[in-house]
Amino acid sequence: MVSLLFGRFLQAIVTLFVLAVIVFFLSRLSGDPIELILPVDATMADRQVLRSTLGLDRPLTEQFFLFLKGAIGGDFGTSIRERKPALDLVLSRFPASIKLASFAMGVAILIAFPLAVLGAVNKNGSIDIIARIVGVLGQSVPSFWSGLLLIIIFAGHFKILPAAGTGGWSHYLLPGFTLGWFVVAGMMRLLRSSLLEVLDSEYIKLARIKGVSEFKVVCKHALRNSLIPVVTFGGVYFAALISTAVVVETVFAWPGLGRLAYDAIGFRDFPVIQAVVLFAAFLVVISSLLVDILYAVLDPRIRIGPKTM
């Protein structure tokens, strides 16, 4: 198992490196970064000074190594708009995003799990039909639209929930639901189909014959085995969560990383976008690693390794 984790760790490094290469080359493709920073009436001498300060007159590979060194050290350049180090901006917005994401994940698990379990157990029953509708709708409705609809209904028409910003716990509700909606659909479909497969297997039949209570059969035996595919997709869901968070935070004016990226796009603030993308990739990679560890914990076959099977 250690070798497996080491392999995953290497994988993580490779991912970050590939992304760093892409980010670096994209940044150089967008034309002269000097033009973005300096005011229009800067003289040629000013340009030359800035160019050598930023190291833009050195060969490309050397620039890349400087960029890498800076990135590892935490220096992603200075925000063009706010003149603060880009990483500081990113880190200051990070807690807000995490709070929203955790709320959304909590909501998603609370809704998806019971729906999936009850749906799979009572296949084609009324709950199953509701579950399948939720699943299909959740993957078909774009999050910005559902967010806006929720605002129209709950904040505009009924006026019971705030439309935007942070404040009390009530501010979490609308954005949290919008963010969690997509995850609910995916997770529920996956868990339900996985559970249906597991419930058909031999050892479940054996447990039933042995007289184990249906509740225990489903919750203890079937559920544990059906969680494995869900966990496997965990890393992909996390990336989807980050993507959706950008949209949701923009719609609800939530002061998180997504909003930061959106504002940066408006101002073409490249260092900030660079920092957000790399930071997000870092988060995704870490979460994938954690998911792989969790996978090994859940499935003893992974722990022991293929040879002893």
Binding mask 42-81 for other proteins (x = CB under 8 A): ----------------------------------------
Query: What DSSP string describes 67-113?
Result: HHHHHHHT---B-TTT-SBHHHHHHHHHHHHHHHHHHHHHHHHHHHH
**Unique residue bearing structure tokens 């995490």:** 98
The C-alpha atoms of residue 212 and residue 220 are separated, in whole angstroms, by 10
36 vs 109, beta carbon nearer other proteins: 36
Q: What is the DSSP letter of 201?
A: S
Residue type, 297: V
Contact status: 229 vs other proteins (CB under 8 A): yes
Name the segment binding other proteins (CB under 8 A); options: 65-73, 101-109, 279-287, 300-308: 279-287
Q: Is the sign of the CA dihedral 275, 276, 282, 285 positive or negative?
A: negative
154 vs 212, beta carbon nearer other proteins: 154
Burial classification of residue 24, based on how many CB atoms lie within 10 Å of its CB (0-12 exposed, 13-18 middle, 19 or more buried): middle
Give the one residue of 56, 277, 293, 296 binding other proteins; rule: CB under 8 A. Answer: 277
Rama region for 286: left / alpha / beta (φ>0; ψ in -120 to 50; rest) = alpha
Q: How many residues does the chain have?
A: 309
CB 210, min distance to other proteins, A: 29
Phi, psi angle pair for 269, to nearest 5°: -90, 85
CB 140, min distance to other proteins, A: 4
Cβ–Cβ < 8 Å for 114, 127: no
Binders of other proteins among residues 171 to 190 (CB under 8 A) are 189-190
Binders of other proteins among residues 127 to 166 (CB under 8 A) are 136-137, 139-145, 148-149, 151-152, 156
**Unique residue bearing structure tokens 């990383």:** 257
How many residues sit in the footprint of other proteins (CB under 8 A)? 58
207 vs 247, beta carbon nearer other proteins: 247
Binding mask 74-113 for other proteins (x = CB under 8 A): ----------------------------------------
Cβ–Cβ < 8 Å for 179, 191: no
Measured in whole angstroms, how far is the alpha carbon of residue 233 from the centre of its chain? 12
Give the one residue of 242, 252, 292, 295 binding other proteins; rule: CB under 8 A. Answer: 242
CB 250, min distance to other proteins, A: 6
Burial classification of residue 274, based on how many CB atoms lie within 10 Å of its CB (0-12 exposed, 13-18 middle, 19 or more buried): buried
CB 56, min distance to other proteins, A: 15
CB 290, min distance to other proteins, A: 13
Positions that interact with other proteins (CB under 8 A) = 11, 14-15, 18-19, 23, 26-27, 29-30, 136-137, 139-145, 148-149, 151-152, 156, 189-190, 193-194, 229, 233, 235-236, 238-240, 242-244, 246-247, 250-251, 261-262, 264-266, 268, 270, 273-274, 276-277, 280-281, 284-285, 288
